[in-house]
């Protein structure tokens, strides 16, 4: 978490020195999240796809470079142990990332992001002890289309990195997601 707060402080300092082009934006998206590495031995139900809901905001310093903060709810999953109920867990993430945009044609752009993701699994299961918090590397790619200078739609794939370690065998849980979102610039 200290890394995330440090990154936020750096982003805030950069905003105070933003050039005249700087444009703020906010967005809301939905999609699908996937957890991998949770199901082990007789435990199942963790490696499933669930709904993803995210909100984000950021600043575009130039037409090509920006910074973005994001929160994503990665859904709740029910676990079974040898067919019997074994609890559930919910996953979420908060990130800050640098963004790159490559304009292609009128309205269409490719985008990428690289940053730090603070990941959390809250559980009511003995598979992961209590709540698991982890810091991972966020990597994202996507494309956007601008309807107007202020309104655009974007599709993205994001890898949120390591989410947790499984208590009974030490395996690593990872998460990723696909989303479509509306972005409003101001």
* Contact predicate 116/134, CB 8 Å: no
The pTM of this model reads 0.80
pLDDT tens for the chain, 186 residues: list them.
565 555 555 555 544 444 556 799 999 999 999 988 777 776 677 778 899 999 999 999 999 999 999 999 999 888 777 777 777 888 899 999 999 999 998 899 999 999 999 998 887 665 555 567 889 999 999 999 999 989 999 999 999 998 877 665 567 888 999 999 999 999
* Contact predicate 35/74, CB 8 Å: yes
């Amino acid at each position: 978490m200290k890394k995330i707060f440090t990154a936020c402080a750096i982003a805030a300092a950069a905003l105070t020195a933003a050039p005249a082009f700087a444009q703020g934006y906010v967005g809301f998206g939905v999609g699908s999240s996937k957890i991998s590495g949770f199901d082990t031995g007789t435990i199942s139900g963790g490696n499933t796809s669930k709904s993803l809901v995210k909100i984000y905001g950021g600043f575009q310093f130039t037409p090509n470079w920006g910074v973005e903060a994001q929160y994503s709810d990665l859904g709740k999953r029910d676990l079974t142990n040898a067919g019997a109920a074994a609890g559930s867990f919910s996953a979420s993430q908060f990130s800050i990332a640098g963004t790159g945009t490559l304009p292609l044609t009128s309205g269409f752009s490719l985008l990428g992001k690289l940053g730090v993701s603070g990941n959390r699994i809250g559980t009511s299961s003995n598979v992961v002890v209590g709540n698991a918090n982890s810091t991972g590397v966020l990597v994202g790619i996507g494309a956007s289309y601008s309807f107007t200078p202020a309104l655009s739609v974007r599709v993205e794939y994001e890898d949120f990195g390591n989410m947790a370690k499984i208590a009974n065998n030490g395996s690593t849980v990872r998460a990723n997601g696909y989303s479509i979102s509306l972005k409003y610039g101001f």
